[in-house]
Amino acid sequence: MPGPAGVVQMDKASYEQICRILGEKRSFLQGDVACAYGALLAGCDFFAGYPITPATETAETLARLMPRLGGAFVQMEDEIASIAAVIGASWAGSRSLTATSGPGFSLMQENIGYACMSETPCVIVNVQRSGPSTGQPTEPAQGDMMQTRWGSHGDYEIIALAPNSVQECLDMTLLAFNLAEEYRNPVVVLTDGEVGHMREKVILPEYDEIAFTARRQPTVAPADYLPFQSVDESLVPPMATFGTAYRTYVTGLTHKESGLPTTDDAVAHTRLITRLVEKITRHRVELTRVEEQFLDDAEVAVIVYGITSRVALNAVRTLRQQGVKAGYLRLIGIWPFPEEKVRQLGERVSRIIVPEMNLGQLVHRIRELVPDSCQVSALPSIGGRVHLPAEISSALMTDRKSPEPEGQHHV
């Protein structure tokens, strides 16, 4: 395992030890459990969390496995404390994780902003449930897409990934740790109650299939090290951890490259925040992850993500069998938004349907990007009900000139 004083490339022995603890290479797991497995295979050695439906299985799995791998697991007194501990652990050299759902995710927002401001790598799994407030605790939703992007105050960027299967819960959580280190930023894995509780086949990746992004360490002498100074085009500064000769001061206040606060300097603030935003947006293309099917000759298309994508793919396949030129674009990386892919699709098709398990969130972002010649329609389903394939196929078939049926939610 990576030692407490610094993260190193995972060695083969560690990988084998993790696999031994995880058991068989091929198993039938819940999405929440797969997130825990993905974290461990990413070298995660710290988890702090608080029980909440439908995310608790991630914590339960890591409570069982983490001490067997020499990592740390702690059940905190609330979600605010959980994300706080996760950030603290990251500065002490851990690859750290928390998992939660809507109400807990709301509580974490202030400290997620702190993680962005302090450029702290960490991973948050948000198993979305129906809200607002306590809502429908056991029902899936996709209601936190915008909260993930804008939930904390001020200007910042976040990285978010939306798996649509149990295997992807593992793969995306694993990837999230690498992205967190690469960009020194919190990464959110946005699953939902359906994917989180669903059981499917999971195959553990082989050693050489696993990328491992180690934390970039400073190369200069401690006296010359500026923990918040970008040293190259990536705009991501090397990060020393606590316990080394690179004594570091971290604050959520606007700070200089040294880390020391400067709170009334507009220039310094602008420089810092612009860099924090640009270090993500500059890498939008590298961070774009989509799945494209049937797009070459598509006349109409769906843009979907998460569990809903599987309904949409079923619908599109059915339509294709009927000769309808329907296409499918799945967003895997949600934030930063895959603008170019959406823009290109909007230029090629006349109509885009956006089925979401909310009353219309990403549909707005999509509308901003496509030309007027492309009609974009929301297709909401809330209350915990996953769309039916027929709903999506009939929405795709609806003549764009006909008015929307009465009672349908307009967004």
Partner 1 sequence: MFNKALNIHKYLRRDMYPSIFCVGCGIGSVLNHTLRAVDELKMDMDKSVFVSGIGCSSRLPGYIDGNGLHTTHGRAIAFATGVKLANPELNVIIFTGDGDCAAIGGNHLIHAARRNLNLTVIEMNNFNYGMTGGQTSPTTPLGSNTTTSPYGNFEEPFDLADLVVGAGATFVARWPLGYPYETIACIKKGIAHQGFSFIEILIPCPTGYTDKNDLKSNKEIWEWYRGNTILRSKYKLLNEQEQDQNHKLVIGELRNVQRKEYTTEWAKLVNRLRDEQDRVDDS
Partner 2 sequence: MRTEIQIAGFGGQGIVLAGVILGEAAILDGQNAVQTQSYGPESRGGAARSDIIISRTEIDYPKVLQADLLVALSQPAFDKYLSGAGEGTLVIVDRELVPSQKGAHLAISFSLMAENLGRRVVANSVMLGFITAVSGIVSSSAMEQSLSRNVPPKTVELNLRAFAEGWSAGKEHVDAWTCRGGANG
Q: What angle do CA 51, 332, 196 make, to 5 degrees?
A: 25
By CB under 8 A, tell whether 88 contacts partner 1: yes
- Cβ atoms of 68 and 43 within 8 Å: the answer is no
Taking alpha carbons only, the member of 220, 218, 217, 229 closest to residue 257 is: 229
Question: Of 249-268, which residues contact partner 1 (CB under 8 A)?
Answer: 249-253, 258, 260-261
Which amino acid is located at 376 in the chain? V
Q: From 261-269, 275-283, 311-319, 373-381, give the range in contact with partner 2 by CB under 8 A.
A: 311-319
Gyration radius of the chain's alpha carbons: 22
- Cβ atoms of 263 and 254 within 8 Å: the answer is yes
By CB under 8 A, tell whether 25 contacts partner 2: no
DSSP assignment letter at 4? T
Cα separation of 42 and 213, whole Å?
Answer: 9
By CB under 8 A, tell whether 243 contacts partner 1: yes
Q: Closer to partner 1 at the Cβ: 163 or 259?
A: 259
State the nearest-atom distance from the C-beta of 322 to partner 2, in Å.
Answer: 16
Q: From 72-80, 296-304, 389-397, 400-408, give the range in contact with partner 1 by CB under 8 A.
A: 72-80
Name which of partner 2, partner 1, none residue 26 binds, using a CB cut-off of 5 to 8 Å depending on partner kind: partner 2
**Neighbour count for residue 340 (Cβ, 10 Å):** 13
Among 290, 389, 391, 394, binds partner 2 (CB under 8 A): 389
Cα separation of 368 and 18, whole Å?
Answer: 45
By CB under 8 A, tell whether 68 contacts partner 1: yes
By CB under 8 A, tell whether 64 contacts partner 2: no
Q: Which is it for the CA torsion 124, 125, 128, 133, positive or negative? A: negative
By CB under 8 A, tell whether 81 contacts partner 1: yes
By CB under 8 A, tell whether 72 contacts partner 1: yes
What CA–CA distances, in Å, run from 148 to 68, 190, 360?
32, 9, 15
Among 231, 386, 397, 411, binds partner 2 (CB under 8 A): 386
Ramachandran bin of 208, using left for φ above 0, alpha for ψ from -120 to 50, beta for the remaining angles: alpha
Among 194, 228, 334, 367, binds partner 2 (CB under 8 A): 194
State the nearest-atom distance from the C-beta of 206 to partner 2, in Å.
Answer: 18
Among 45, 139, 168, 171, binds partner 2 (CB under 8 A): 139
State the nearest-atom distance from the C-beta of 30 to partner 2, in Å.
Answer: 9
Name which of partner 1, partner 2, none residue 138 binds, using a CB cut-off of 5 to 8 Å depending on partner kind: partner 2
Question: Of 201-240, which residues contact partner 1 (CB under 8 A)?
Answer: none
Non-local CB neighbours of 71 within 8 Å, separated by 6+ positions: 1, 44, 45, 46, 47, 94
By CB under 8 A, tell whether 5 contacts partner 1: yes
Question: Of 6-35, which residues contact partner 1 (CB under 8 A)?
Answer: 20-21
- Cβ atoms of 255 and 261 within 8 Å: the answer is yes
Q: Closer to partner 2 at the Cβ: 129 or 215?
A: 129
Tell me how many residues contact partner 2 (CB under 8 A): 21
Contact pattern from residue 99 through residue 128 relative to partner 1, giving x for each residue in contact according to CB under 8 A and a dash for the rest: -----------xx--x--------------
Among 19, 48, 311, 366, binds partner 2 (CB under 8 A): 311
Helix (H) or strand (E) holding 166: helix 166-183
Residue 345, token pair as written in the block? 């699709």
Q: Where are the alpha helices (DSSP H) in 118-159?
A: 145-150
- Cβ atoms of 143 and 358 within 8 Å: the answer is yes
**Neighbour count for residue 296 (Cβ, 10 Å):** 9
DSSP assignment letter at 270? H
Interhelix angle 79-91/102-117, rounded to 10 degrees, is: 30
By CB under 8 A, tell whether 52 contacts partner 1: no
Residues that bind partner 1 (CB under 8 A): 4-5, 20-21, 45-46, 48, 67-68, 70, 72, 74, 76-78, 80-82, 84-94, 96, 110-111, 114, 242-245, 247-253, 258, 260-261
Residues that bind partner 2 (CB under 8 A): 26-28, 54, 138-139, 194, 197-201, 307, 310-311, 313-314, 317, 386, 388-389
